[in-house]
């Protein structure tokens, strides 16, 4: 990239032989590398070139699931991610759990719960089961907002897999994990989402989800903010 003049189109990096050697995974890796090294505009420019090229051309053929998923994760706003996701679907690219998680991640980072709900409802309608990344995004969102009960309920459902009903998590009973209803007497001030169904209520798990340490760290952080030391000890 350093050898490419600032005004030169990024597609000059890709001659005909390079394009023939690239597949969508390699193109996605290139987009990630450009973004990681501070060339975000170049990454966007390259992906725009892929999208605008004839689908049957070597460059246009690279605009598929892997590159769209990468581009989704690099969106600067929920609205931009939603627009790109709609374009992807209209192009005939079927989203998988990674694409949905990329979309959800941008929406959650923006704190846009309406957009998060749209992403999750689209995921459910497509019958795509969430994975650990999907759940981590929601747990992080809940943790930032101190919504410990929702974080625990999500963990409960994900660890069991299957349907939408949560059950026992450690020593906590199902009724202690209820969300969207009356606040627990010892809970802090209600979050604006109180009284509504939790975001993750739309998710359907095909199998139990295996979480990493960072997920539990986020839940512990939410419990700590809420002064719920007893729940933290009983669960962990």
Segments making up each domain of the chain, as ranges: 130-236
pTM: 0.82
Tokens found for residue 231: 């729940």
Instruction: Give the pLDDT confidence score for residue 170 in this predicted structure.
Output: 44
pLDDT tens digits for range 170-215: 434 444 444 443 333 333 334 445 545 789 998 989 899 998 888 8
Higher-confidence residue of 4 and 50: namely 50
User: Residues 81, 103: contact at Cβ < 8 Å?
Assistant: yes
Contacts of 122 (CB under 8 A, 6+ apart): 85, 100
Instruction: Give the pLDDT confidence score for residue 198 in this predicted structure.
Output: 86
Q: What mean pLDDT is reported for the chain?
A: 82
User: Residues 174, 166: contact at Cβ < 8 Å?
Assistant: yes
Higher-confidence residue of 135 and 15: namely 135
Euclidean distance between CA atoms 133 and 119, whole angstroms: 14
Instruction: Give the pLDDT confidence score for residue 196 in this predicted structure.
Output: 59
């Amino acid at each position: 990239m350093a050898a490419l003049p600032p005004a030169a189109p990024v597609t000059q990096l890709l001659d005909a032989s390079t394009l023939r050697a690239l597949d969508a995974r390699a193109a996605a890796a290139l987009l990630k590398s450009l973004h990681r090294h501070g060339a975000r505009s170049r990454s966007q420019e390259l992906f725009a070139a892929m999208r605008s090229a004839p689908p049957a051309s070597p460059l246009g053929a690279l605009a598929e699931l892997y590159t769209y998923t990468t581009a989704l994760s690099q969106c600067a706003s929920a609205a931009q991610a939603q627009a790109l996701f709609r374009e992807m679907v209209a192009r005939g690219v079927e989203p998988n759990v990674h694409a949905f998680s990329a979309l959800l991640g941008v929406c959650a980072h923006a704190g846009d719960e309406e957009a998060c709900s749209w992403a999750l409802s689209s995921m459910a309608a497509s019958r795509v089961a969430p994975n650990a990344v999907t759940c981590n995004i929601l747990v992080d969102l809940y943790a930032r907002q101190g919504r410990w009960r929702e974080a625990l309920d999500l963990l409960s459902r994900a660890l069991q897999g299957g349907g939408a009903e949560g059950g026992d998590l450690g020593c906590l009973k199902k009724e202690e994990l209820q969300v969207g209803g009356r606040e627990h007497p010892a809970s802090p001030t209600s979050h604006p989402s109180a009284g509504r169904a939790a975001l993750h209520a739309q998710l359907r798990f095909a199998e139990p989800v295996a979480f990493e340490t960072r997920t539990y760290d986020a839940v512990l952080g939410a419990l700590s903010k809420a002064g719920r030391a007893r729940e933290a000890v009983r669960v962990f």
